[in-house]
Amino acid sequence: MSQKIRVATTSLAGCFGCHMSLLDIDERLFTLLEHVEFDRSPLTDIKHCGPCDIGLVEGGICNAENVHVLREFRKNCKILVAVGACAVTGGLPAQRNHLSLADCLQEVYVTEISLEHGGIPNDPELPLPLDKVHPLHEVVKVDYFLPGCPPSADTLWKFLTDLLAGRTPSFAPELIRYD
């Protein structure tokens, strides 16, 4: 049995910017890979999350599929981490929260003349959008929060190395950003 820490990652209502920031730890990835192996992640293309030690979730919750994936992560990950502004607060997708969802869909797919008029999508394979965009902790228990759009590579590195060393992650002010 592997002694490595198993890590799963996913992007829900996010832009994969937080994943890019994780890759931005550059050559420290080699050090990281001495200690961890990836389960479900865009890096492995594994489609479902198995039992893991750490789950890194980027993005908020904007549709029914996001809820299913998040619950799968919570069920399988001992430690669940909200990574980035969208996971922590809803982020930029939550800019629609003061509007009605119906009005948004109407504007984008029907009214606005500069956009294609294909009508409001109704394919049964499309996950249904939620009325509002939610941060992760409104749906499942979250163990750690890393704000930032995205959290910097140094912030992610500090978090992961603290956690792997068994320390409570702590951050200097320059590692705590909201943009």
Partner 1 sequence: MTDTFQLDGEDVTFAPGQSVLQAALAAGRYIPHLCYHPEFKPHGSCKVCTVKANGRTAASCTLPAQAGLNVESDTEDMNELRRTLVQMLFAEGNHFCPSCEKSGNCTLQALGSDLGVMTAGFRHFFPDRPVDASHPEFLLDFNRCILCELCVRASCEVDHKCVFALSGRGLDKHLIVNAASGKLADTDVALSDKAVDVCPVGVILKKRVGFAVPIGQRRYDQRPISEQALDDAPRPAADSAACAACEGTS
- 88 binds partner 1 per the rule CB under 8 A: yes
Task: With H, G, I as helix, E, B as strand and everything else as coil, classify residue 100.
Answer: coil
Pair of tokens at residue 146: 């890393």
Q: How many CB atoms lie within 10 A of CB 27?
A: 7
Q: Taking the complex as a whole, how short is the minimal distance between the CB of residue 128 and partner 1, in angstroms?
A: 20
Among 160, 159, 161, 155, which residue's Cα sits nearest to residue 174? 155
Which CB atom, from 92 or from 153, has the smaller least distance to partner 1?
Answer: 92
Q: How far does Cα 95 stand from its chain's mean position?
A: 17
Residue from the set 92, 101, 140, 153 that interacts with partner 1 by CB under 8 A: 92
Task: With H, G, I as helix, E, B as strand and everything else as coil, classify residue 4.
Answer: coil
Which CB atom, from 40 or from 134, has the smaller least distance to partner 1?
Answer: 134
Token pair 């750690």 in the structure block, residue: 144
Residue from the set 22, 40, 135, 156 that interacts with partner 1 by CB under 8 A: 135
- 20 binds partner 1 per the rule CB under 8 A: no
* CA–CA separation, 133 and 67 (whole Å): 11
Which CB atom, from 62 or from 149, has the smaller least distance to partner 1?
Answer: 149
Task: With H, G, I as helix, E, B as strand and everything else as coil, classify residue 116.
Answer: coil
- 137 binds partner 1 per the rule CB under 8 A: yes
Among the residue ranges 18-26, 33-41, 71-79, 94-102, the one whose residues contact partner 1 (CB under 8 A): 94-102
* CA–CA separation, 153 and 2 (whole Å): 27
- 145 binds partner 1 per the rule CB under 8 A: yes
Q: Taking the complex as a whole, how short is the minimal distance between the CB of residue 69 and partner 1, in angstroms?
A: 20
* Chain residues that interact with partner 1, rule: CB under 8 A: 85, 88-92, 94-95, 97-99, 132, 135, 137-138, 144-147, 149, 171, 173-174, 176-179
